[in-house]
Chain A
Amino acid sequence: DAGITQSPRYKITETGRQVTLMCHQTWSHSYMFWYRQDLGHGLRLIYYSAAADITDKGEVPDGYVVSRSKTENFPLTLESATRSQTSVYFCASSADRRDTEAFFGQGTRLTVV
């Protein structure tokens, strides 16, 4: 299907476990982003990627790892999940130019117990 999709939609994991959230887009957008959304905060940028094999930290990168071996995929890994990482995670993509629209996935609700 065309668009940007995230998986899983919901995930419950235990403290200390590694978990990977997947993001796939079909537009060949250069830029991809990972955000987290928590009550009382606007969306906060975790990591972004300007192209395949190019990634950079955002506002809240600690505890997260990303990779981008292919343009269409941008997985986010929590190396050792903590309760403070319980959140809703959104992936987004946009074309090269900064004035183009960013498209968001439907989100992954992660609960760390």
Chain B
Amino acid sequence: KNQVEQSPQSLIILEGKNCTLQCNYTVSPFSNLRWYKQDTGRGPVSLTIMTFSENTKSNGRYTATLDADTKQSSLHITASQLSDSASYICVVTLNNAGNMLTFGGGTRLMVKP
């Protein structure tokens, strides 16, 4: 079964600190892996998209890595800000008709002052 597992489920860090969120997937055939940020009460917003051949991609203070061999990805947040408090969702796209997305359960990040 195609699955995306994220860890930790929740995380609390102090403002200014770094953190790393993990994503393991069993989705096949693989097309790409995305990280989304979802603020409370809002729809998910894309942070990064990585295809099979890419192993790192940055978007400001967000850096995603992908190891397609071990089927693992991470999202590293540098110098966290209060506005980083949100859920971060790992999403893997199936390489099939319909662009089917398989969503992880998300990591809920809280940044405290």
**Interface positions of A (Cβ within 8 A of B):** 31, 33, 35, 40-45, 48, 50, 56, 58, 90, 92, 94, 98-99, 101-107
Given contacts A104-B44, A106-B43, A107-B42, contact A45 B89 (CB under 8 A): no
B interface with A by C-beta (< 8 Å) = 4, 31-32, 34, 41-46, 49, 51, 89, 93, 95, 97-106
Cα of A98 to Cα of B102 in the assembled complex, Å: 13
In the assembled complex, which residues on chain B have CB atoms less than 8 Å from the CB atom of A35?
Answer: 103
B46–A101 CB distance below 8 A:
yes
A102 to B36, CA, bound (A): 10
CA distance A36 to B101 in the complex (A): 13
With a CB–CB cut-off of 8 A, which chain B residues contact A43?
A: 44, 89, 101, 103
Residues of chain A within 8 A of B93, CB atoms compared: 98-99
Do A104 and B98 touch (CB < 8 A)? no
Contact flag A98-B32 (CB < 8 Å), given A104-B43, A107-B42, A107-B43: yes
Closest chain A CB from B4 CB (angstroms): 7
Q: Are A102 and B43 in contact (CB under 8 A)?
A: no
Q: Which residues of B contact A94 (CB under 8 A)?
A: 99
CA distance A98 to B96 in the complex (A): 9
Q: Are B105 and A41 in contact (CB under 8 A)?
A: yes
Q: Within 8 Å CB of A92, what residues of B?
A: 43
Task: Check if A105 sits within 8 Å of B95, measured CB to CB.
Answer: no
